[in-house]
Amino acid sequence: NGLRIAVIPGDGIGQEVVPEGLRVLRAAAKRFSIDITFDMFDFSSWDYFEKHGTMLPSDWKEQIGGHDAIYFGAVGWPEKIADHVSLWGSLLLFRREFDQYVNLRPVKLMPGVPSPLAGRKPGEIDFYVVRENTEGEYSSVGGRMFAGTEREIVMQETVMTRVGVDRILHFAFDFANRTKRKHLTSATKSNGIAITMPYWDERVEEVSKSYPEVAWDKYHIDILTAHFVLNPQRFNVVVASNLFGDILSDLGPACTGTIGIAPSGNINPTGEFPSLFEPVHGSAPDIAGQGIANPVGQIWAGAMMLEHLGYPEAGAAIVRAIEDVLAQPAFRTRDLGGEADTETCGKAIAGVLEAA
Amino acid sequence: NGLRIAVIPGDGIGQEVVPEGLRVLRAAAKRFSIDITFDMFDFSSWDYFEKHGTMLPSDWKEQIGGHDAIYFGAVGWPEKIADHVSLWGSLLLFRREFDQYVNLRPVKLMPGVPSPLAGRKPGEIDFYVVRENTEGEYSSVGGRMFAGTEREIVMQETVMTRVGVDRILHFAFDFANRTKRKHLTSATKSNGIAITMPYWDERVEEVSKSYPEVAWDKYHIDILTAHFVLNPQRFNVVVASNLFGDILSDLGPACTGTIGIAPSGNINPTGEFPSLFEPVHGSAPDIAGQGIANPVGQIWAGAMMLEHLGYPEAGAAIVRAIEDVLAQPAFRTRDLGGEADTETCGKAIAGVLEAA
Ligand SMILES: CC(C)[C@H](C(=O)O)[C@@H](O)C(=O)O
Ligand SMILES: CC(C)[C@H](C(=O)O)[C@@H](O)C(=O)O
């Protein structure tokens, strides 16, 4: 009874980086004697959609719901299928149906990765974005009236529930409580979004009482994005609604130069359903098929997955192997100014684990 | 029949920077022989609220609605009055009631202002954010159900209307059409916010047809914030919904290091109502009363106001005077690493205009 992982490479460069992720996971499994089985799935992709007219088979929940985790590449191919069809038909559906209510993303300045910010050193920027992943601004409630006329009106609800807001806040405060700095920042916009956001603030105030050791502050999202650029060293754990978390967890990695290599965990903390681990980057159709994509995000996502599944040492070893390899120009892919291809980079990282 | 300007200093450092703004406007008026009268108003402030229990007198529209423009300082004092009360009771109310449906903000790397981005030179970053300023995510429609219980639900509508979306897009495309680069970028999130944002995209597509000379592209807001940091030179005119525009017009100035000095125009393009010009920064209660606030944002807002009122040369002369003075360390305020106080900086800028 080892680990069973459902692997979904998906679209575009997902097909190229997932094999490297698996290579590294196998190396880590060997080194740390973890028994892992990988089951491959071809759905959640344009190819599957073209054949079947849907993103997923009707029994997708039975097929992957019993696995310990989902290892996901990327989905979407905007020229072939509208984003909201492919995404709401797979990735966003998984998040909701598997109640992966936490999206966790590290923001970390890595060695060998140039940051666009002036004068920042590795170690100086190192925090997490905790994003609510199932409700809020990403609702499916709303519609259009007087369609096609001058009076046309389109409305969409932001929906916040006590259950949904409190559980993400508890996760974030608890997570912050386990860090050294014990600090949390909440993203809000209660001065402009004057119905839902004051509620978010109210619950932060309330939930914070259960974590007296965590110091916290809050910023409106506009000035918070400014602080990501101006004072990124200030942050430890940042908790945010679905939309704000989406923005901050792209902006944070952009500030550390790691947008192409950052990972993302879509976590169901109760363990009732499998959690899903993926790189932050998308399917990148423009460079797909050339074998030049950077596999580090996919590999780092594997590290998060092992950590989540109870193998923190194996996860940490993968992150260290990534840092080792990134420090060597010969193994950097084009996006980082190097010339290595996807496989060369992946093999180098696996090699560090095998050699150790 | 000269210009009549309604002046509202408001709260905190608004009281300190507005006098410097007026000093510079008077100098510009003299030099360019513009006849301007300034009428001062004490409402839209905590002091007024304390005395009257409201942010504005009931006849505020009659008092300032007939002016050619409103020259605004800052409003809000979170320790004394909830943000959503003070803001929705004044600034956001003006935007809506005076149908100031355009919020226009320059993002410009200025000489003497250090940018947090590595290796960027003045002139390299120079674009505008055009923000929808009356509808969208800043609606007042929504509410709370099952309040105070575990089943509590809070909802807020995002409302986009054909009229509201089309007019901001027309403004932005027309504005882009008058620039040298004739390029426009639209901020979206149609992959996640799957009802209102695909509508926004649809209208961009449609409105663009009236401006065949403008090349345009679109980015999801998450990756767009990343590009502001990674590739700011790419942008010329960025058009965005109310919330996305709010975020981008703080992040942009943060990237150029000018968040403390950037201006903002809240414009009613039809001229039916007065437009309002203000600095991007807020009332900054933490440094209020010390005479150390940077007056450049307020002064730059005055330049935008003169340009809007048909005096582009006078506006440009103020911007040049700002650039002259910022290039001299002796006149920089503390936030820019200098030691000048508010008045010294303001007098220096007025001095350039008087000397010319
Ligand atoms: C004060 C606040 C309500 C306002 C906004 O969000 O519009 C401000 O951030 C701005 O951008 O003018
Ligand atoms: C693809 C898109 C719908 C998704 C999101 O907005 O959640 C992505 O940006 C992410 O952050 O995982």
Determine if residue B33 is left, alpha or beta; phi over 0 gives left, psi from -120 to 50 gives alpha, anything else beta: left
Q: Provide the pLDDT confidence category of residue B85 given band limits of 50, 70 and 90.
A: confident
Tens of pLDDT, residue by residue over B155-212, are: 999 999 999 999 999 999 999 999 999 999 999 999 899 999 999 999 999 999 999 9
What is the Rg, in whole angstroms, of the alpha carbon atoms belonging to chain A?
20
Note the pLDDT of residue B78: 87
Tell me, in angstroms, the distance from the centre of ligand 2 to residue A243's CA: 9
The answer, for B246 touching chain A at a CB cutoff of 8 Å, is yes
Tens of pLDDT, residue by residue over B311-325, are: 999 999 999 999 999
Cα B50 to Cα A215, B64, B86, B272, distances in angstroms: 32, 21, 11, 32
Residues A336-351 have a mean pLDDT of 96
Q: Cα B189 from chain centroid? A: 23
Q: Cα A206 from chain centroid? A: 27
Residues A82-105 have a mean pLDDT of 93
Would A134 be classed as within a structural domain?
Answer: yes
A74/A155 same-domain check: no
The ligand 2 atom at the shortest distance from the C-alpha of residue A242 is 7
Would B117 be classed as within a structural domain?
Answer: no
Picking from A160, A192, A250, the nearest residue to B154 by CB comes out as: A160
Tell me, in angstroms, the distance from the centre of ligand 1 to residue B246's CA: 6
B222/B156 same-domain check: yes
Task: Write down the residue that tokens 């700002």 correspond to.
Answer: B322
Contact criterion met (CB < 8 Å) for B154 and A223:
no
Structure tokens at B25: 């406007």
B240/B283 same-domain check: no
Tens of pLDDT, residue by residue over B223-272, are: 999 999 999 999 999 999 999 999 999 999 999 998 889 999 999 999 99
Would A116 be classed as within a structural domain?
Answer: no
Angle at Cα A158 formed by Cα B129 and Cα A154, nearest 5°? Answer: 70
A248/A290 same-domain check: no
A96/A131 same-domain check: no
Cα B121 to Cα A116, A183, B114, B162, B262, distances in angstroms: 14, 36, 10, 40, 18
Structure tokens at B171: 């403004």
Would B261 be classed as within a structural domain?
Answer: no
The answer, for A118 touching chain B at a CB cutoff of 8 Å, is yes
Contact criterion met (CB < 8 Å) for A226 and B83:
no
State how far the Cα of A127 lies from the Cα of A148, in Å rounded to an integer.
46
B251/B151 same-domain check: yes
B251/B131 same-domain check: yes
Return the amino acid letter for A299: I
Write phi, then psi, for B82 (nearest 5 degrees): -60, 135
**Boundary of a domain, candidates B225, B255, B285:** B255
Residues A263-284 have a mean pLDDT of 96
Tens of pLDDT, residue by residue over A219-237, are: 999 999 999 999 999 999 9
Cα B332 to Cα B22, B24, B111, B112, distances in angstroms: 19, 16, 12, 9
A147/A220 same-domain check: yes
Q: What is the percentage of chain A residues whose pLDDT exceeds 90?
A: 93
Estimate the share of chain A in helix, then strand, then coil, as percent rounded to the nearest 5.
40, 20, 35
State how far the Cα of B250 lies from the Cα of A303, in Å rounded to an integer.
35
Would A177 be classed as within a structural domain?
Answer: yes
**How many CA atoms lie less than 13 Å away from A116 in the CB half-sphere?**
23
Write phi, then psi, for B168 (nearest 5 degrees): -70, -35
Pocket of ligand 1 (CB under 6 A): A 191-192, 222; B 87, 92, 246
**A259: three-class secondary structure by DSSP:** coil
Would A120 be classed as within a structural domain?
Answer: no
B16/B94 same-domain check: yes
Calculated CA dihedral for residues B97, A197, A159, A177, nearest 10 degrees: 170
Instruction: Report chain B's terminal Cα–Cα distance, integer Å.
Output: 26
Please say if the pLDDT value at position A217 is more than 80: yes
Q: Are B321 and B114 in contact (CB under 8 A)?
A: no
Tens of pLDDT, residue by residue over B109-145, are: 998 888 999 999 888 999 999 999 999 999 989 999 9
Q: Provide the pLDDT confidence category of residue A356 given band limits of 50, 70 and 90.
A: confident
Residues A73-94 have a mean pLDDT of 91
Across the beta sheet with A183-188, the strand order is A36-40, A3-10, A69-74, A275-279, A263-267, A102-108, A126-132, A237-240, A183-188, A215-220
Residue nearest to atom 4 of ligand 1 (CA): A192
The answer, for B249 touching chain A at a CB cutoff of 8 Å, is yes
Residues A305-332 have a mean pLDDT of 96
State how far the Cα of A86 lies from the Cα of A92, in Å rounded to an integer.
9
**Boundary of a domain, candidates A202, A220, A255:** A255
Report which bound ligand comes closest to the CA of A224.
1
Tens of pLDDT, residue by residue over B8-28, are: 999 999 999 999 999 999 999
A310/A217 same-domain check: no
The answer, for A40 touching chain B at a CB cutoff of 8 Å, is no
Chain B residue whose CA is closest to A161: B153
Would A113 be classed as within a structural domain?
Answer: no
Cα B347 to Cα B23, B295, B332, B353, distances in angstroms: 7, 10, 12, 10
Beta-bridged to residue A128, according to DSSP, are A106, A237
Note the pLDDT of residue B45: 96
Q: Which residues of A touch B150 (CB under 8 A)?
A: 162-163
Chain B residue whose CA is closest to A220: B247
Note the pLDDT of residue A82: 86
B53/B143 same-domain check: no
Q: Are A291 and A310 in contact (CB under 8 A)?
A: no
Q: Are B163 and A150 in contact (CB under 8 A)?
A: yes
State how far the Cα of A320 lies from the Cα of B354, in Å rounded to an integer.
62
Cα B15 to Cα A202, A230, B45, B295, distances in angstroms: 31, 27, 10, 11
Q: Which residues of B touch A242 (CB under 8 A)?
A: 192
State how far the Cα of A15 lies from the Cα of A20, in Å rounded to an integer.
10
Please say if the pLDDT value at position B1 is more than 80: no
Q: Which residue has the higher pLDDT, B253 or A114?
A: B253
Total residue count of chain A as it appears in this document:
356
Residue nearest to atom 10 of ligand 2 (CA): A246
Note the pLDDT of residue B114: 87
State how far the Cα of A334 lies from the Cα of A321, in Å rounded to an integer.
19
B246/B299 same-domain check: no
Strands B183-188 and B237-240, sheet pairing: parallel
Average pLDDT in chain B: 96
The answer, for A144 touching chain B at a CB cutoff of 8 Å, is yes
Contacting residues for B337 by C-beta, under 8 A, at least 6 apart: B114, B329
**CA dihedral for B328, B330, B336, B337, sign (positive or negative):** positive
Tens of pLDDT, residue by residue over A243-260, are: 999 999 999 999 999 888
Report which bound ligand comes closest to the CA of B283.
1
Average pLDDT in chain A: 96
Q: Which residue has the higher pLDDT, B305 or A79?
A: B305
State how far the Cα of B130 lies from the Cα of B123, in Å rounded to an integer.
20
Please say if the pLDDT value at position A140 is more than 90: no
State how far the Cα of B111 lies from the Cα of B258, in Å rounded to an integer.
11
Q: What is the CATH number of the domain that holds A333?
A: 3.40.718.10
Determine if residue B154 is left, alpha or beta; phi over 0 gives left, psi from -120 to 50 gives alpha, anything else beta: beta
Residue A249, domain extent: 126-255
Q: Which residues of A touch B190 (CB under 8 A)?
A: 83-84
Q: Provide the pLDDT confidence category of residue A285 given band limits of 50, 70 and 90.
A: very high
Q: Which residues of A touch B87 (CB under 8 A)?
A: 191-192
Chain A residue whose CA is closest to B258: A226
Structure tokens at B354: 């008087």
Would B325 be classed as within a structural domain?
Answer: yes
Q: What is the percentage of chain A residues whose pLDDT exceeds 70?
A: 100
Tell me, in angstroms, the distance from the centre of ligand 2 to residue A246's CA: 6
Domain count, chain A: 2
Q: Provide the pLDDT confidence category of residue A30 given band limits of 50, 70 and 90.
A: very high
**Boundary of a domain, candidates B222, B255, B288:** B255
Chain B residue whose CA is closest to A163: B150
